[in-house]
A and B are shown apart, each in its own frame.
Chain A
Amino acid sequence: MPLRRWARSSAAALALPVLLAYLFFVMSRSVDALEDNWLSATVLVSSAAVLAAGPVCAAAGAWEGARLARGGVDDAAAVRSRAAILAWSLLPVLGAALVALLGGLALAGVAMAGVAGLPDPLVLAVALLVITAWTLAGFAAGRHLHPLVGVPLLLVGTWLWLACPAALETFWVRHLTGNNLGFCCETHTVYDRRALYAQAVVAVSLAGAAYLAWSRRRGARPAWAGIAGLPLVAVAVAFPLVRDMGPEAQVPRTSGLACGRSDGVEVCVWREREKRLGTAALIAVPAARRLAAGTGLPAPRRVTEGPATGGASWRFAMPPGAKPDDVLFGLATGLLPAEPPVCGPGWSGADAHGPLSAWLALKAGAGQDAVERRTGPRSTGAARRALGLPAAEQVRWFRHNLDALRRCDVSPSEVTLP
């Protein structure tokens, strides 16, 4: 068949404008909120592509599957394999999905101009796998269902499977769909690969079951075993991968730092922010020295945006648009415990968090107005009162209240204004 006629006669010709419009619509709502890393752009593109192309390609698959069934491929003498017959109908639909995905990547590329890095190929590959699986599911449904039933059922059914789990409080379901909620990740986090592997397992099993359902000969019992068994295998493999995951598939990032030395201290930022390494060193190193002197803690040998132990290495953050006061506040509050201790009701240690944050930020050199905006006037007032104490008294006040934040049996001291 001539290629143009082959492509024009496919449902993909109708599906492509629809899914392109929906993809650009979904992306346009979020492209301004992208983080300064390519992973967030890749996840947005893959999420929009799956949400737009998944249902539309499934519906197009149901249409094409019904066309093949109406054409009599089940009953006619075979001149080519079932896989070849399927491929000639499947390729235009998948081609439309690929065009949409590349269009989304082009849009993301414009938004990410100047950000170092490349799209994550694994995220994109899983997105294509999910779209292929749903398209095959459409072909399988189309073999048995009239388009009047198959097309709306696949369109809405696939969309519900992709969109609905985001509204459920059972978090693990959302990590199986491939939708990825449209957002991941901040620069200090990476996508949890377990979710990608689980999505790939579900997609492969769906594709396998759908292919068996489409290609099985009438009355062939072994095919039914595969059609029923593959989803069970997928659940058995994918569920343990995502069972313990929270609402978002983010885990802390541990690699990808760009480091330099300044005044004897190693300063590290994420490699996407390498251009700002000098500025970061100028702000963070003197502030770290001021904090060490003010709190009596040993001066750090390393200040970093990456993992920090809290002893010899301190943590800070320098996201795009951050002002020096924001960087100082982040460095100062990085000295406080990230999580409260597990105490019973009546624990009052949390009262110390605001005054300690304000005191540390002021010690680091942050402006009073910026500190008050972040911690509130009461916390800043308590911090100012503590700053009026002699240096040794201030260190004692800091250590006591730091203990109150870490332990259940210590109450905060002098953290409220009279």
Chain B
Amino acid sequence: MRTWLRVHRAAQVCGALALTAGLVAAVGDVLVPVPGLAVEDLAGVPVALVAPLAASSVLVRGALAGAGGLEAAAVRPVLAYRTGMVAVVCALSLVMALVVTVPYAAAAARNLVGFTGLAALAALPRGRRRDAATAAPAAYLVAAMLLGRPGAGSWWDWPVEPSPHPATWVVPAACLGFGLAAPVLARLRPGRRPRRRG
């Protein structure tokens, strides 16, 4: 387990999570002006909503690290380890958001869940380098900034919605849930052998 944690950069993931939490607490409420297509004036996006992309990218890098071929043939339940690692970090961010009284903490936790879920979804198609996972969360964030219309009815443009109202959790939670569950379900399907990855 210790080796697995080292290979999957658990220390770096913890560091990135702590750094992001510090950033959200220190300068999270600073508004960054962003030109939007859907609004007339320059909309301001709090730094707290963007910062989780850093923690998410380090988490996804950690989760997808390691030699695929070795892990596919491993005796230990490495898929469960990986799923658990992502789930624990996301849960930890939610607990931190509930415990602390920092502006936009809940929205930041939601965005961490959402960005991680998007990367997990993008990494589902089998490919050695998982190129899509590199750009998918950032591309979604930029699209939401340009096209989003934050407000009470927001759901798809959750990355730029400062309030954590329930509708904004649907897409992030679904992305993370499906992104984590799909590899597990594929493994559980009878008569299917895991493909070897080069």
Residues of A within 8 A of B (CB): 22, 25-26, 29, 59, 63, 146-149, 151-153, 155-157, 160, 163-164, 166-168
Between B32, B54, B57, B61, the greatest number of chain A beta carbons within 10 A of the residue's beta carbon is seen for B57
Q: Which of B34, B35, B61 contacts A149 (CB 8 A)?
A: B61
Fill in one digit per residue for B56-90: 1 if any A CB lies within 8 Å of its CB, else 0: 11101100110000000000000000000000000
Contacts A63-B134, A160-B50: A26 and B57 contacting too (C-beta < 8 A)?
A: no
B37 contacts chain A at the CB level, 8 A cutoff: yes
B135-143, B162-170, B182-190: which lies at the A interface? B135-143
Contacts A63-B134, A152-B138: A167 and B30 contacting too (C-beta < 8 A)?
A: yes
Q: Which of B60, B141, B146 contacts A148 (CB 8 A)?
A: B60
Closest B residue to A14 using CB positions: B135
Fill in one digit per residue for B124-138: 1 if any A CB lies within 8 Å of its CB, else 0: 000001110111011
List A contacts of B133 (CB < 8 A): 148
On whether the beta carbons of B57 and A148 are closer than 8 Å, the reply is yes
On whether the beta carbons of B134 and A156 are closer than 8 Å, the reply is no
Contacts A148-B61, A149-B58: A163 and B138 contacting too (C-beta < 8 A)?
A: no
On whether the beta carbons of B61 and A167 are closer than 8 Å, the reply is no
Kindly state the separation between the CA atoms of A407 and B119 in the bound complex, as whole angstroms. Answer: 67
On whether the beta carbons of A151 and B58 are closer than 8 Å, the reply is no
With A25-B146, A151-B138 known, 9 other A-B pairs at CB within 8 A are: A25-B37, A63-B134, A152-B134, A152-B135, A155-B138, A160-B50, A164-B32, A167-B32, A167-B44
Q: Which of A26, A29, A152, A168 contacts B137 (CB 8 A)?
A: A152
**B43 → chain A closest CB, angstroms:** 12
B106 contacts chain A at the CB level, 8 A cutoff: no
Between A151, A156, A160, the greatest number of chain B beta carbons within 10 A of the residue's beta carbon is seen for A156
B47 contacts chain A at the CB level, 8 A cutoff: yes
B33 contacts chain A at the CB level, 8 A cutoff: yes
List A contacts of B32 (CB < 8 A): 160, 163-164, 167
List A contacts of B47 (CB < 8 A): 160, 164
List A contacts of B138 (CB < 8 A): 59, 151-152, 155-156
List B contacts of A152 (CB < 8 A): 53-54, 56-57, 134-135, 137-138
Query: How many residues of B are counted as interface, with CB atoms below 8 angstroms from the partner's CB atoms?
Result: 30
Contacts A25-B146, A148-B61, A148-B134: A163 and B37 contacting too (C-beta < 8 A)?
A: no
Classify the interface of chain A: helix, strand, loop or mixed: helix
18 residue pairs A–B, Cβ–Cβ below 8 Å: A25-B35, A25-B37, A146-B61, A146-B65, A147-B129, A147-B131, A148-B57, A148-B60, A148-B61, A148-B134, A152-B54, A152-B56, A156-B54, A156-B138, A160-B47, A163-B33, A167-B32, A168-B30
List A contacts of B137 (CB < 8 A): 152
Contacts A151-B135, A155-B138: A166 and B33 contacting too (C-beta < 8 A)?
A: yes
Kindly state the separation between the CA atoms of A341 and B130 in the bound complex, as whole angstroms. Answer: 66
B26 contacts chain A at the CB level, 8 A cutoff: no
B31 contacts chain A at the CB level, 8 A cutoff: yes
Closest A residue to B135 using CB positions: A151
List B contacts of A156 (CB < 8 A): 50, 53-54, 138, 141
On whether the beta carbons of A164 and B57 are closer than 8 Å, the reply is no
**B147 → chain A closest CB, angstroms:** 11
Closest B residue to A181 using CB positions: B33
Closest B residue to A48 using CB positions: B35
List A contacts of B64 (CB < 8 A): 148
List B contacts of A164 (CB < 8 A): 30, 32, 47
Kindly state the separation between the CA atoms of A148 and B53 in the bound complex, as whole angstroms. Answer: 11
**B33 → chain A closest CB, angstroms:** 5
On whether the beta carbons of A167 and B134 are closer than 8 Å, the reply is no
Kindly state the separation between the CA atoms of A250 and B141 in the bound complex, as whole angstroms. Answer: 34
**A11 → chain B closest CB, angstroms:** 10
List A contacts of B129 (CB < 8 A): 147
Kindly state the separation between the CA atoms of A166 and B35 in the bound complex, as whole angstroms. Answer: 13
Kindly state the separation between the CA atoms of A167 and B65 in the bound complex, as whole angstroms. Answer: 37
**B17 → chain A closest CB, angstroms:** 14
List A contacts of B65 (CB < 8 A): 146
Q: Which of B33, B54, B56, B134 contacts A147 (CB 8 A)?
A: B134
List A contacts of B35 (CB < 8 A): 25-26, 29
Between A25, A146, A157, the greatest number of chain B beta carbons within 10 A of the residue's beta carbon is seen for A146
Kindly state the separation between the CA atoms of A153 and B141 in the bound complex, as whole angstroms. Answer: 13
Fill in one digit per residue for B79-106: 1 if any A CB lies within 8 Å of its CB, else 0: 0000000000000000000000000000
